Amino acid sequence: MSAGYSLFILITGMITFTYRSTGVIKSNTFGTTFWTLLKDFQFTLLCIVCFLFGILIGIYGTFMNWFLLSLDASHTLIGISTIIAGLSELPIMFTSAKIMKTIGPVNCLYITYLTYAIRFIAYSFLRDPWLSLTIEPLHGVTWSLMFSVAQSYAASLSPPGLQATGPGLTNAARLVGQAIGIFSGGVLYDTYGPRTLFRGCAVLAGFGILLLALGRLIYRLVHSPQQSPHHCEDEEDEHEETKPLLNGDSPNDTYSIQS
C-alpha cells in the first residue's frame, strides 16, 4: 500500500470523523463524538481489532516484496504476484455483504485473522519465490473481507447521525496500527530476519482470534438476561431486528448492514 493512498485514507477518515450530520445526534465537540462511540463495548473492541489488522497490513505491505527479492525473485514475478493479489479482491468485494449476512461479522473477522495466520506461516517457510503465487489469492480475504466487514459493522454499531463517523474512527485505528507495524516491523526485520517476523505476525493473528473470543464472552456475560424466560423472549423479539450483536454469527443472529 503506497504512502499516498495511506495519506488519502487518513485525510478521509479525519473528514468523516469531524463531519456533523443533520440526523438525530449532533456532536457539539470532538470529545463528545469520540466518547459517544467508544463507550460502546462492541465498537471499542472493533477499533482494537482494526488496530491489530493495521499492524499486520503494514508489515505485509512493506516487507513482503523485500523478502521475495531476497529470494532472488524477479521484478516480473513481483508484478504478477501483485496482480493476483489485486484480482483476488474483486469476488470478495462483490460478495462481502452476502457473506456477512450469512455467517455474521464476527465470524468474518475470525476467518480474516485465521487467513492472515496461514498466509504469514506459509511465507515464513517459503523457499521458492514462485510459490508465492499460490499464497497471494488469500489477499482477497485478508484485505477485502476485513475492510468491508469493519466499515459495515462500524456503521451498524454507530448511533444515528454518526454512521459515517464510526467507520472513519475504525479506519483511523487501522492506520495507526499500520504505521506502528511498519516501524516495528522494520526493527524486527533487521534484528531477527523476515521469517521470524512473519511467524510473529502469525502469532499476533492468533492473539486477535483470542481477543475476539474473549470480548464475545465478556459481552455475553455482561448482557446475559436476568429476567424470567417469558420476559426475555418477548424482549428479544422486540429488539432482534434493530440491535446488532457482537455475538451474531449465524443467519438467525441479529446483524444488518446499514447504509
In this predicted structure, the answer to whether residue 52 has a pLDDT above a threshold of 60 is yes
Residue 247 grid coordinates: 455475538
144 contact partners, CB below 8 Å, separation of at least 6? 88, 89, 92, 93, 96
pLDDT at res. 27: 47
CA-based R_g, the chain, Å: 20
Other CB atoms within 10 A of residue 215 CB: 20
- Highest mean pLDDT: which range of 14-28, 77-91, 212-226: 77-91
pLDDT at res. 190: 95
pLDDT at res. 162: 80
Is 169 in contact with 40 (CB distance < 8 Å)? no
pLDDT at res. 240: 38
pLDDT band of 10, cuts 50, 70, 90 = low
Residue 124 grid coordinates: 515464513
Closest CA to 195 of 82, 68, 81: 68
In this predicted structure, the answer to whether residue 228 has a pLDDT above a threshold of 50 is no
Q: What is the mean pLDDT of residues 81-108?
A: 92
pLDDT band of 159, cuts 50, 70, 90 = confident
pLDDT band of 165, cuts 50, 70, 90 = confident
pLDDT at res. 241: 39
Is 161 in contact with 24 (CB distance < 8 Å)? yes
Other CB atoms within 10 A of residue 172 CB: 21
Residue 30 grid coordinates: 470532538
pLDDT at res. 237: 44
Q: Which domains, and CATH codes, for the chain?
A: 3-18+38-218 (1.20.1250.20)
